[in-house]
Amino acid sequence: MASDLITNVTEADFKAQVLDSDQPVLVDFWATWCAPCKALAPKIADVAGDFDGRARVVKLDIDKNRKIAMNYNVRSIPTLIVFKNGEAVGSAVGNVDKAKIAQLLSEAL
């Protein structure tokens, strides 16, 4: 199942899981109370399956990891940021369509 390909990250492992990754990483900044985040989740899972082996997909709960959200100026959720070689290289805000999410990751490959 594609959702099995999505890892939850925290402030404790963000550097290892995202910044030090040898593959591009899509980070989904979300919160449990966010309805648009829940609506976006199936599209994120689809993209995780489509890019399995080429890129990673992780979720970061902003309520539990405020410092990282602040570091990357996440002001509204859902926010998607693609990281490559430790740098943010693309982003999107809101319940975007699957094609936009795939485009963000494709540009980082």
Annotated catalytic residue within 9, 18, 34, 101: 34
Sequence-ordered list of residues with C-beta below 8 angstroms from that of 66, at least 6 positions apart, any chain: none
- Residue 71 Cα distances to 36, 62, 68, 107, angstroms: 22, 11, 5, 23
37 classed as catalytic: yes
Annotated catalytic residue within 6, 27, 37, 92: 37
Name the token pair of 76: 């509204």
d(CA 15, CA 12): 8
Active site residues: 34, 37
